[in-house]
Amino acid sequence: MRSIHRQVFAAASLGLVLATAQAQEFNWRKYQGQTVTFLVNNNPIGNALVKFKPEFEKLTGMTVKVDGYQEQQMRQRLVTVMNARSDEIDLFMSLPSREGQQFAKAGWYADLNDMIRGASSKDYDFKDLSAGMVADATYDGKVMGLPLNVEGPVLYYREDVLQRCGVALPKSLSELDAAAAKLKACDANITPFVSRGLKPAAPFTFSVFLHNHGGSYMKDRKSQLCSPAGQAALGQYSRLLKDFGPPGVVNYSFPQISSLYKEGRAAMAFESSNELHNLMDGGARLADTGIVPLPAGPGGSKSTVIGWTLSVSAHSKNKEAAWYFLQWATSKGVQEKLAVEGIAPPRASVANAPEFKKWLEEQPVRREWIAALNQVAQTGTSEVGYPIVANPASREPIGQAINELILGQKSVAQACADADTALNALIAKE
């Protein structure tokens, strides 16, 4: 993981230094008896934090009330609570690459600067956190969240199925369609290729196709989905899902993809590195899975690399108590526990720790996972959707175009033109 911190997250320090005298006075029991409410995304990170929360409650004497949902429902819940300026949520998971600018502009994040400077746990070591990821969650000098993980999409593939069908692992995007076609002809009972088709979720994986084809979302304040690279990416991504994906793929996000692959019903799955634990759960795929980045295209290899943060609500009446949970969740000790759950750590010390390296060495698939993630991190970009305040809204037209192509409702030229019209209208508002 050293390359992740050297290449992707090489950013200037924010100059936030924890005071030694204050740290020595830190008291984990200060808010004993208080309750904080945590809005959780039921993804691998959120589930792992919930798994270990009894340790925090025992340490602090506090109670953590979990309000957990699947990703889209979690965001709907957050928007409802924040628009009402309600104090019922104290902490929430956030994705700065998606909603960071929007939430910051709306004033939903509490500024963590004073809490970071103040009486924090003596062994917290703020400077050990990825400076780049902290910077990604910093707006106008205000730290709006602290990193929980590092992730990017990777290609999980069945080594045994490819070998049985005489299919070579694709080395370029141009070989991917041919490999999927051979797999389909070899075994009609297995899905050759699966990735995200659900509208709001699809841009996460589609973005890698766009960048590997040499495209970008925006140039000179204009949407670029109808550029040659944009059309090539839309055409290939939707064609793979239409011709070689499972029935109903327009409803697929990470839970459905992980289930399909884990059960042995998919030969290739392009999904988040975060899903390693779920894909390997039960052990059926441990011995037959390989992991690589998506093959390079005309634009080279330029994956997506992002990370979730934990944030305190600006409307919380328990900000200081919530900070205790936040610093516990992003501490070295907890990050070490998350790392061996398949959550790639944003702390350099954890990434290089003997315990994590030992865990990686226990299974070949884990070594391939970290190698793929390191490669993704070296060349990756956090551009998922449009780099505008309305980034969440920008993902809808992208997903809509993908859905229309999968369902055969429009040509690539029609789908991208309609998407560009909607997206240019969003861009013009800023």
What are the structural domains of the chain?
2-150+306-352 (3.40.190.10), 153-304+368-428 (3.40.190.10)
- For 334-352, what is each residue's pLDDT tens digit? 999 999 999 999 998 999 9
Residue 136 is predicted with a pLDDT of 87
Residue 234 is predicted with a pLDDT of 98
DSSP state of 251: G
DSSP state of 252: -
Q: What is the mean pLDDT of the chain?
A: 92
Over 90: is that where the pLDDT of 22 sits?
A: no
Look at residues 367, 361, 355 and name the one whose alpha carbon lies nearest to residue 289: 367
Q: Is 102 helix (H, G, I), strand (E, B) or coil?
A: helix
Structure tokens at 165: 């069908």
Backbone angles phi, psi at 168, to 5 degrees: -75, 145
How far is it, in rounded angstroms, from Cα 53 to Cα 48? 9
Residue 117 is predicted with a pLDDT of 85
pTM: 0.88
Over 90: is that where the pLDDT of 283 sits?
A: yes
Look at residues 256, 245, 259 and name the one whose alpha carbon lies nearest to residue 180: 245
- For 77-118, what is each residue's pLDDT tens digit? 999 999 999 999 999 999 999 999 999 999 999 999 999 988
Look at residues 226, 230, 382 and name the one whose alpha carbon lies nearest to residue 302: 382
Per-residue b or e along 132-160, where b marks 16 or more CB atoms closer than 10 Å to that residue's CB: bbbebbbbeeebbbbbbbbbbbbbbbbee
Residue 132 is predicted with a pLDDT of 84
Confidence band of 119 (pLDDT split at 50, 70, 90): low
CA atoms 288, 266, 71, 395: torsion sign: positive
Q: Which residues contact 58 (CB under 8 A, 6 or more apart)?
A: none
Helical H segments across 194-273, by residue range = 202-212, 228-244, 254-262
DSSP H or E run through 142: strand 142-143
Residue 122 is predicted with a pLDDT of 75
